[in-house]
Amino acid sequence: MKFGVKELPKSKRMRFLFFLLVPFLVFGQTSDDKKELYFVALYTTGDAWDNSKAPNEQAYFKAHSNFLQQLRSGKIIALGARYDETGMVLFKASDLTAAKTLIHSDSAVQNKLFEVEVHEFSTFYNGCIQ
């Protein structure tokens, strides 16, 4: 007995077509939206840091705080932390060039209060920080 698609009952034909077309629908879609990547900025004190002054007394420190607050308000920063003498900010950008351009627009970096390194941040274990 030979069965063609037309000889199958309608419900089975629909199921057959569904499973046949799903891979094309799922994998054939393209998106014009660029995926946002995560980057980490590692801050250390720069040449303009005055060890005789508290952090909030440093030139450009208030501007730096305002800069980070703007990034937080814009939901660009995912998290920030400190360890030892290093500040760390995990943030979103479209690519490494955009990430570096963004972080280097901070007046505290431009005026050497902080030195900063920017690296792409690739997770190998997804989790949640609250």
| Structural domains of the chain ordered from first start | 37-120 (3.30.70.1060)
Query: How many alpha carbons fall within 13 Å on the CB side of residue 17?
Result: 10
**What is the identity of the amino acid at 38?**
Y
pLDDT at 128: 76
Strand order in the sheet with 77-83: 77-83, 86-93, 37-45, 114-120
Residue of 104, 83, 103, 82 whose CA lies nearest to 92: 103
Q: What's the CA gap between 30 and 87, in Å, rounded?
A: 38
Q: What's the Rg (C-alpha) of the chain?
A: 25
Mean pLDDT, to the nearest integer, of 103-119? 98
pLDDT grade, residue 125 (50/70/90)?
confident
pTM for this one? 0.71
pLDDT tens string 18-38: 555 656 555 554 454 567 799
